[in-house]
Amino acid sequence: MTNNKAMKGSDITIKCLENEGVETIFAYPGGFSLELHQSIQDSKIRVILPRHEQGGAFAACGYARATGKAGACMATSGPGATNLLTGIADAYMDSIPLVCVTGQVPSSMIGKNVFQETDIIGMTRPIVKHSYLVLSAKDLPRIFKEAFHLAVSGRPGPVVVDIPKNVQQEMVEVDFNPKLEFNSYKAKFKLKKSDITELKKMIKASKRPCIYAGGGIITAEASEELRKFAESYNIPVVTTLMGVGSFPENNPLSLKWLGMHGTVYGNNAANECDLLLAFGARFDDRVTGNPANFAVGSKIVHVDIDKSEINKNKIADLGIIADIKEVLTALNKEPIRQAYKAWHAQINDWKEEFPMMYKEKLGSVQPQYVMEKLCEMTNGEAIIVPGVGQHQMWAAQYYDYTFPRQLLTSGGLGAMGFGLPAAMGAKVARPDKLVINIDGDGSFQMNIQELGTLHAEEINVKMIILNNQHLGMVAQWEDRFYGSKRGNTVMKNKRVDRPYPDFVTIASGYAIPGREVYKREDLESAIKDMLETEGPYILDIHTGYEEHVLPMIPPGKDYKSIINE
């Protein structure tokens, strides 16, 4: 339907966001997005002002990860837009739907190096599904309809819409119901009956099958179908880090997750099976090490919505380009159940011989113990949003995940500074859920300013810092592979006679309460305080630097080189 009344481009933009169901946008204003911010004041869309554009981009990612809907963020041109880049790259690497709106200098000035001009289209081209430079306000309804469709369909990802200031100010009549027209983009592929027949034949011939489930299961909302498939076919399941929660870890068939810091038994099963069913996973290097040495001797079935992933890192015996939910639904109609007694017995032996464990140190507040106690005291029901580093791995290893979108983590990009703002976005998206940010002292400081957003917007995120005064994961690599020679990985200030900085004091400056923990016996009461205090709360737990994340497969090595102590 054509709007018979002329509207400003900025008003059209906000109307388009409303039409796409946007309820919340994380937006930081500036000179070349000022018109958009003026227009959005008359909208029902909730505008959350982050304290840094990167925080806004990560928050939008957290929102999207928690819901499956496209997250939305907005920034001005130049430095505002460039500050979004890390969040956009994070969404691209993990297939997260994101629509980023950026202001731009007037179109007549593009290419003249005027104040706060950057080519954000060129800068983001390698890390988006698509990008648009809007040259006429008449195109806005079509562009936004396409942008949101592209972001959430097929393999999801980020889309950038760059709007020059003159287009924001342009007065035009528009049609808010344009047709979607793509020359080559196909979001879905038709499932072939012959593929299901061949896949079932391979399962029937198998003696040692293993399901390798990735984040595609969660994206496709196929977790229930995966559970039914695994149970009815009696096949064990190992997930990727991005697939954590796609299969309940308290299920007897669960092998938790595999890869560099995954379980020994999960890695063994994936490598020593005779049939590896890769569902919505991409054979990334943190799972496979050297792909040539991964799952040697196994028949491989690879199901993915993205054609480019098939045979990219590992040659598949059967590649199926399809929606994994459709594939699992078809497989579940007539399940093939076999006992696999010897195989399950072997897996149980591995579980008994190589459990996920650590050596307890009396009195020490070990990070693994923190996660175990947190899981116990939250009944395993919290949404956990870690930063990146050792704490991220411990959060994934020692909390039991039972539902999809429960662990929200920066996987492919591994971006420090992700945790706090992403938890903020997740809590906005899921106010009914307990959302806990698990961070390290290094990662937390990268976006610490978002404490201000938590307080100002009354976003009830709980924060736990596993504080070891190091850039822990890098220091662990130094310990293991560089003779413990420190290359700028110690965060402690030698001139200060206590852990540095004082996070609880910093939080109090943002009017957020908190507490420090130094002793193991104080942990339970501190977690209780955190959980029972209304609003955001920070728990700074001083773990010391003694622990390494284990198990660990050295980079480039295979599962037989795994380090357990």
Instruction: Please state, in angstroms and rounded to a whole number, the distance separating the CA atoms of residues 560 and 558.
Output: 6
3-state helix vs strand vs coil in the chain, percent to 5: 40, 15, 45
d(CA 328, CA 247): 14
Look up 18 and say whether it is catalytic.
no
Among the listed residues 38, 116, 338, 346, the single catalytic one is 116
Q: Cβ of 2: how many Cβ atoms within 10 Å?
A: 9
Task: Clarify whether 473 is annotated catalytic.
Answer: yes
What is the phi/psi pair of residue 97, to 5°? -75, 125
58, two tokens: 């990560």
Give buried/exposed letters for 439-457 (b at 16+ CB in 10 A, else e): bbbbbbbbbbbbbbbbbeb
Q: Which helix (H) or strand (E) holds 537?
A: strand 537-542
Is the CB of residue 537 less than 8 Å from the CB of residue 550? no
CB of 35 closer than 8 Å to CB of 10 = yes
Q: Which residues pair with 161 in a beta bridge?
A: 101, 132
Cβ(169)–Cβ(196) below 8 Å:
no
Q: Which of 145, 165, 299, 314 is catalytic?
A: 165
Angle at 366 between CA 362 and CA 370, to 5 degrees: 120
Asked whether 461 and 97 are in contact (CB, 8 A), the reply is no
- Considering 115, 171, 173, 182, which one is annotated as catalytic? 115
User: What tokens does 141 get?
Assistant: 């309804």
Please calculate the CA angle 310-311-314 and round it to the nearest 5 degrees: 120
Distance set, CA 33 to CA 138, 200, 202, 252 (Å): 18, 55, 56, 53
- Of the residues 20, 35, 53, 272, only one is catalytic, namely 53
CB 299 within 8 A of CB 275: yes
The torsion angle over the Cα atoms of residues 130, 132, 138 and 143, rounded to 10 degrees, is: 20
Query: What does the longest C-alpha to C-alpha distance in the chain come to?
Result: 74
What gap in Å lies between CA 121 and CA 161, rounded to an integer? 9
Is 165 considered catalytic here?
Answer: yes
Give Cα 172 to chain centroid, integer Å. 39
- Are the CB atoms for 117 and 109 separated by under 8 Å? yes
Catalytic residue among 424, 473, 530, 552: 473
Peptide bond into 252 cis (omega under 30): no
Residues annotated as catalytic are 53, 115-116, 165, 473
